[in-house]
């Protein structure tokens, strides 16, 4: 019996907190952890439509389009600027991965030079007619919701998020996500929540707010100040998947949960490392290094552990190091180093 395709309103309930796509960070094992802990929705890392066209069976493509059972259905994020190619690859993804795909998200916010130099990512905010055609063609090609993630504008002199949002809605976007910075800002400065609020008021489809969500209190503040339908956590989840649990407790019950203990953080790092190696192989140990740094930031002995992690190439050695670190934390009581403030990585 055929299943009914999901709608944006079944996928994205009001006051949802979702995990944003981050290249090289939100691989399937980490997404599964975040979904299990409380993320309402997850997205793949951004995937090139051209890459899917020219080499659909490459190992990296298979990894990018692999889902953790805990997160299904998952949003698939594509980037590109050719309307026909984007529509074709969206249909291919849905045909190949079926019920595992919650929605197709179009990345119109990536600020990286090699992406925007091809007219893709946030460069599409400078060509709204083309962006609208991409959305229209993709919405016609697939039965799941097509959504768009973009920024406030290209630079401070071209803030066009409101007009752009209206164009994307008219073209068929089922939901919009706005990151509160321009392309020129990359990830610097303070996110512009006021423009996000303007977008939320300007369209009728659900709007997800993104930018500077580093705590449960930040998530609640954005919902209250901007009137968005949902919030997206990206960098705030690095080494901190508990942010979703904490946000849900605060939003649903007004309860402030205690942060994870140092031992909980190391336990999660070990779980994440084992899952990533099982998913991608021993070479993924190098990819795990940055995650380890995020998990243990601000903890006693973290600097020494990071130094050792950077020279480890095998999963068994990494697990032994983290096991030893757990023993050290149990011995010291897990108090924070005075000379290593939270935030150093």
Catalytic residue numbers read 110
**Residue 215 and residue 205: Cα distance in Å, rounded?**
26
Give the pairing of strands 16-19 and 74-79: unpaired
Among 240, 244, 236, residue whose Cα is nearest residue 296? 240
Query: b vs e for 236-245, b when ≥16 Cβ sit within 10 Å of the residue's Cβ?
Result: bbbbbbbbbb
Please state at what angle helix 315-332 crosses helix 262-280, rounded to 10 degrees: 170
Is the omega angle on the peptide bond into residue 73 within 30 degrees of 0, that is, cis?
yes
What angle is formed at CA 29 by the lines to CA 33 and CA 86, rounded to 5 degrees? 110
Cβ distance 166 to 202 under 8 Å? yes
Q: Which residues pair with 230 in a beta bridge?
A: 16, 208
Residues 6+ apart with CB under 8 A from 302: 293, 296, 337, 340
């Amino acid at each position: 019996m055929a299943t009914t395709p999901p709608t944006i309103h079944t996928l994205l309930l009001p006051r949802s907190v979702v995990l944003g796509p981050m290249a090289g960070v939100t691989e399937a094992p980490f997404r599964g952890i975040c979904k299990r802990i409380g993320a309402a929705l997850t997205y793949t890392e951004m995937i090139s439509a051209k890459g899917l066209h020219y080499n659909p069976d490459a190992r990296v493509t298979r990894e990018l389009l692999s889902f953790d059972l805990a997160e299904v259905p998952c949003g698939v994020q594509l980037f590109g600027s050719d309307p026909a190619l984007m529509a074709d690859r969206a249909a291919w993804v849905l045909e190949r991965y079926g019920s595992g795909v919650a929605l197709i998200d179009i990345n119109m916010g990536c600020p990286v030079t090699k992406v925007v130099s091809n007219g893709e990512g946030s460069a599409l905010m400078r060509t709204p007619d083309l962006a609208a055609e991409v959305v229209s063609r993709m919405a016609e090609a697939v039965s799941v919701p097509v959504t768009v993630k973009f920024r406030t504008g290209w630079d401070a002199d071209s803030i066009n998020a409101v007009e752009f949002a209206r164009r994307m809605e008219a073209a068929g976007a089922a939901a919009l996500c706005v990151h509160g910075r321009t392309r020129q800002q990359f990830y610097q400065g303070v996110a512009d929540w006021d423009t996000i609020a303007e977008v939320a008021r300007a369209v009728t489809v659900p709007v997800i707010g993104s930018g500077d969500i580093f705590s449960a209190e930040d998530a609640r503040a954005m919902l209250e100040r901007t009137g968005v339908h949902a919030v997206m956590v990206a960098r705030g989840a690095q080494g901190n998947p508990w942010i979703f649990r904490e946000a849900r407790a605060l939003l649903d019950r007004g309860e402030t949960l205690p942060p994870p203990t140092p031992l909980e953080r190391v336990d999660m790092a070990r779980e994440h490392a084992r899952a990533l190696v099982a998913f991608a192989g021993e070479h993924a140990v190098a990819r795990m290094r940055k995650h380890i740094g995020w998990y243990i930031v601000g903890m006693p002995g973290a600097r020494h552990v990071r130094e050792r992690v950077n020279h480890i190439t095998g999963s068994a050695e990494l697990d032994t190091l983290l096991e030893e670190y757990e023993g050290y934390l149990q011995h010291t009581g897990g108090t924070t180093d005075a000379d290593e403030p939270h935030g150093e990585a």
